[in-house]
Structure 1
């Protein structure tokens, strides 16, 4: 990493070093000479005017661990090392180490997740474990030595993966939603339909993105939603309902379906009518023809009776 001499920095860095010196009572250890809390607060407010254009941007995903290294080469005869932590919308915190006394001190540091990675007499690396969305901000390391004072600035951007959903309402409108992501997710579709997007920014700086689409007039049966985000990309697919299909296509389909159905209905009616007529004709014909077999049977019965009764009279 590049180290920058104090002579090329703003005067605010000088105020920063003064605060560190006051923290350790460099002039005297007597409490009578310690600065008041209000004086320290005023000194810290000046630190917000530091030019952070030279800051190195670092991204870390929420609920992971991240570290900030203070330097990459040895600083000879180090006097002190300190971290100034400027979270977004929060009070600055200072963590400092003085080498000649081998002691550390802190001011306004209440976040137990932000600590030295190891013993500061071994390593000046700062760690955050785990990272939360409130850790967005600037992290400045300052080293003080006889040959100069140096600083390095990090700007931390916390990434939050969005929650992804894909749904469809009863009208065939499809909604692809990336909820509470940081930064805002990017949404695209295959195949493309008639779409528009709505973004909602929440109080914790996360953003919900909704892409609302419909495919009326397009011959699509399945569509895919692509969600692009710094924490990873995702895809979701959904089958379109029949109401999403082309209206003219449906009309043609219904028309082509009605023609054969009509023909089948007409033929069915004709066949049924013919069957009824045939049964009526057969019934009437049966009634008009005398039953010959019945008459023969009656004749035979009468003949047998005459023979029987004739025999009886002879006896």
Structure 2
């Protein structure tokens, strides 16, 4: 059994089953079991998108037949000589199962192909608003893998599309602020790609960081002022309370002192009047 490697990117043979990977836009040729004395050959195609189709050939009538097959799928050569199937300009819609059934005098034989269509991603590399490099592997199938040549901490983000392709986005975060030139490397079964870029911190990023620092300092200053007035306000309240207590005690003390003076004066006067003539109170 032979297979034209010029049209097929890779093949993995598993018994009578084969896995074929083809890059979108290329052509692929699938062959049937190489049996002699073929009496009938039938291709049964079940694409992932759209309905099934068949291509058939009968040797006794030298007649071909096709049902629901697009113009992009046809016999590669004359089916009486080589019943290989050719898929021209492979698209994602061609992905699916392809079965070739051969009826010969030796018996019935078949080969099944599982066709996978590869879509190389479009590499996009740019600097975001903060001066960080961002690498995108756009609309690849399967999803690409992104890595950076320099050491980085990054978490890729994937976004699936309706046609089965996937966009992978990775933002570069350098461990050192001195790093300016960065290289993005995209790995994919359809081929690897790389690109480099130089990003510098933008003015908006500087203004944002400065604003954050000023805001933090303002909040810190405001809290310090509140604490200062709260602390000194408490001391002032205690001092005022002490003065109020003193003012309340002083009138009472003055009153008691006056009462004592009056009392002493009256006592001296009373004692002087009670003594006999010729005697005076001792001082």
Same fold judged by TM-score > 0.5?
yes
In 2, distance between residues paired with 1:233 and 1:105?
42
Aligned 8 A contact 1:96 1:104 in 2: yes
In 2, distance between residues paired with 1:200 and 1:89?
21
Aligned 8 A contact 2:49 2:94 in 1: no
* Among 155, 158, 165, the residue aligned to 2:114: 155
SS in 2 for 1:91: coil
Counterpart residue number, 1:308 = none
Aligned length: 193
SS in 1 for 2:93: helix
> How far apart are 1:53 and its partner, in Å?
8.6
Counterpart residue number, 2:125 = 166
Counterpart residue number, 1:97 = 57
In 2, distance between residues paired with 1:177 and 1:242?
20
1:41-190 to 2 correspondences below 5 Å: 55-71=17-33, 73=34, 75-109=35-69, 111-190=70-149
SS in 2 for 1:134: helix
In 1, distance between residues paired with 2:56 and 2:133?
55
Aligned 8 A contact 1:86 1:93 in 2: yes
1:1-315 to 2 correspondences below 5 Å: 1=1, 55-71=17-33, 73=34, 75-109=35-69, 111-215=70-174, 217-242=176-201
> How far apart are 1:77 and its partner, in Å?
2.5
In 2, distance between residues paired with 1:149 and 1:210?
50
| Greater radius of gyration (CA) | 2
**TM-score in terms of structure 1 length:** 0.58
Aligned 8 A contact 1:227 1:234 in 2: yes
Q: Structure 2 unaligned segments of length 5 or more: list them.
A: 3-13, 207-283
Aligned 8 A contact 1:172 1:214 in 2: no
List per-residue Cα deviations over 1:16-69 (Å, max 9, x = no partner). Answer: xxxxxxxxxxxxxxxxxxxxxxxxxxxxxxxxxxxx995211111111111001
**TM-score in terms of structure 2 length:** 0.64
Supply the RMSD in Å over aligned alpha carbons.
2.2
SS in 1 for 2:65: strand
Aligned 8 A contact 1:55 1:155 in 2: yes
